[in-house]
Amino acid sequence: MARRANAVALAVSIFAFGGSEAAFAQTEGGRSRTFSRALVVDDVGETGGIVSLRAAESSRVFLNGGTFVMGSSREEMAGALTLCRREVVQNLCDRIAPRFRTEGVAHRVTLSPFGLDREEVSVEKYRRCVAVGRCAPPSFPPGDTRFDAPNLPVTHVGRNDASAYCEWVGGRLPTEAEWEFAARGVAGRRFPWGPNWDPGLANHGVLSREEGDDADGYLTLSPVGAFRHGRTPEGIDDLAGNVSEFVEDRFDVDDEGFGYGGGALTNPHSTSKGGPPVVRGGSFRDAAPFLRGAFRSYLLAPYSAAVGFRCAYPTPADASSP
Answer with the residue of higher pLDDT: 312 or 219: 312
Mean of all residue pLDDT scores within the chain: 80
Domain end call among 38, 56, 74:
56
Whether 192 maps to a domain, the answer reads: yes
Domain end call among 56, 71, 100:
56
Do 171 and 45 fall into the same domain? no
DSSP class of residue 14 equals H
Round to whole Å and give the CA distance between 5 and 11.
10
pLDDT at 86: 82
Q: What percent of the chain has pLDDT over 70?
A: 77
pLDDT at 84: 87
pLDDT above 50 for 18? no
One-letter amino acid of 80? A
Query: Where is average pLDDT lowest: 38-42, 129-133, 298-302?
Result: 38-42
Do 131 and 6 fall into the same domain? no
Q: What CATH number does the domain containing 295 carry?
A: 3.90.1580.10
Other Cβ atoms less than 10 A from the Cβ of 111: the count is 22
Looking at residues 72-94, what average pLDDT do you find?
Answer: 85
Neighbouring C-alpha atoms within 13 Å toward the C-beta of 17: 15
Do 52 and 79 fall into the same domain? no
Looking at residues 214-240, what average pLDDT do you find?
Answer: 91
pLDDT at 321: 37
Domain of residue 213, residue span: 61-313
Do 198 and 171 fall into the same domain? yes
pLDDT above 50 for 32? no
Q: Which helix (H) or strand (E) holds 167?
A: helix 159-168
3-state per-residue secondary structure call for 48-110: CCEEEEEECCCCEEEECCEEEEECCCHHHHHHHHHHHHHHCCHHHHHHHHHHHHCCCCCEEEE
Domain total for the chain?
2
Looking at residues 119-126, what average pLDDT do you find?
Answer: 97
Q: Are 300 and 277 in contact (CB under 8 A)?
A: no
pLDDT at 41: 28
Do 223 and 257 fall into the same domain? yes
Q: What pLDDT band is residue 90 in, cutting at 50, 70 and 90? A: low
pLDDT above 60 for 19? no
Do 111 and 150 fall into the same domain? yes
Q: Are 133 and 240 in contact (CB under 8 A)?
A: no
Domain end call among 41, 56, 71:
56
pLDDT at 48: 33
Whether 320 maps to a domain, the answer reads: no
Whether 322 maps to a domain, the answer reads: no
Do 34 and 103 fall into the same domain? no
Do 24 and 91 fall into the same domain? no
Do 112 and 19 fall into the same domain? no
Q: Bridge-partner residues for 40, per DSSP?
A: 54
Looking at residues 103-129, what average pLDDT do you find?
Answer: 96
Q: What is the pLDDT of residues 161-220, one digit of tens each?
A: 999 999 999 999 999 999 999 999 999 999 999 999 999 999 998 765 545 566 667 889
Query: Where is average pLDDT lowest: 43-57, 194-208, 220-234?
Result: 43-57
Do 143 and 275 fall into the same domain? yes
C-alpha separations of 254 from 43, 75, 102, 234, 243 in Å? 60, 20, 9, 33, 27
pLDDT above 50 for 47? no
Whether 215 maps to a domain, the answer reads: yes
Whether 197 maps to a domain, the answer reads: yes
pLDDT at 284: 94
Q: What is the pLDDT of residues 123-152, one digit of tens each?
A: 999 999 999 999 999 999 888 887 889 999
Q: Please state the pTM of the whole predicted model.
A: 0.80
Do 229 and 271 fall into the same domain? yes
Round to whole Å and give the CA distance between 59 and 44.
26
pLDDT at 316: 79
Strand 60-63, strand 114-117: pairing? antiparallel
pLDDT at 270: 78
Do 48 and 194 fall into the same domain? no
The rounded Cα 252 to chain-centroid distance in angstroms is 22
Whether 318 maps to a domain, the answer reads: no
Looking at residues 112-120, what average pLDDT do you find?
Answer: 97
Whether 319 maps to a domain, the answer reads: no
